[in-house]
Amino acid sequence: MAYPRDEIDRVRERTDLVELASEITKVKRSGRSVMAVCPFHQEKTPSLSIDGARGLYHCFGCGKSGDVFRWVQETQSVDFRDSVELLARRAGVTLTEEPGAAQRRGRREELIKVTTAAVEFYGKRLKKADDAASARRYLRNRGYDADVVDKVRDRLLSRRLGRVDPPPHPQGLHREDADDRRSVVTQPPRTPHR
Ligand SMILES: [Zn+2]
């Protein structure tokens, strides 16, 4: 966590989720209960319940729920850190980065750069290098062409190494057939290659 817990809590306390929600969707108050038209699924009648006092939401239609930070992450497609910064600005809370956080982030950026270069390098080698011929032959025998290299590379790079998304998953590498999919994931290569 890049920011101290108490600052994050202060941002949370000073953020009115009902107000936040009303900026992007229709909110209906009746007494103490607040219902909103859910921005996460298609609906006309509000089924998203907002607990303004606790800063929590829950949708009875699609099951999405969370706090003010989750709300910003989901509605603006940002990560947790960005959601904290965004709401801090909005609430007028000054954030101080924890010692070492900037350094950790710098190291992370460096690792992303190095990994990106490695992915490019090995992708190119797999497609062109003479000594990768047996690997190419193996992939062709399994029904994969050169496109799959680009596809995997793009997926890896676009994920920015697990920044927000779930960890890389072999999906998209596979042929249509489910049995085949299983065999690709779980079985060692049938023809050993060097
Ligand atoms: Zn919903």
Q: To 10 degrees, what angle do helices 133-141 and 101-128 make?
A: 80
CA–CA gap between residue 45 and residue 34 (Å, rounded): 13
Residue with tokens 């947790």: 80
193 Rama class: left (phi>0) / alpha (psi -120 to 50) / beta = beta
**Cα 48 to ligand 1 centre (Å):** 6
Instruction: State the Cα torsion 96-102-105-107 to the nearest 10°.
Output: -160
Can you give the pLDDT of all 194 residues of the chain as single tens digits? 589 999 999 999 999 999 999 999 999 998 888 999 999 999 999 999 999 999 999 999 999 999 999 999 999 999 999 999 999 999 999 999 877 777 787 888 888 888 888 888 888 888 888 988 888 888 888 888 777 777 777 776 665 544 444 444 444 443 343 344 343 443 444 444 44
Domains, the chain:
5-91 (3.90.580.10), 101-184 (no CATH)
**Cα 64 to ligand 1 centre (Å):** 6
* 57: its two tokens: 């939401």
* 1: its two tokens: 């966590």
CA–CA gap between residue 14 and residue 76 (Å, rounded): 19
| Residues at Cβ < 5 Å from ligand 1 ion | 38, 40-41, 59, 61-62
Global model pTM greater than 0.85: no
DSSP state of 52: T
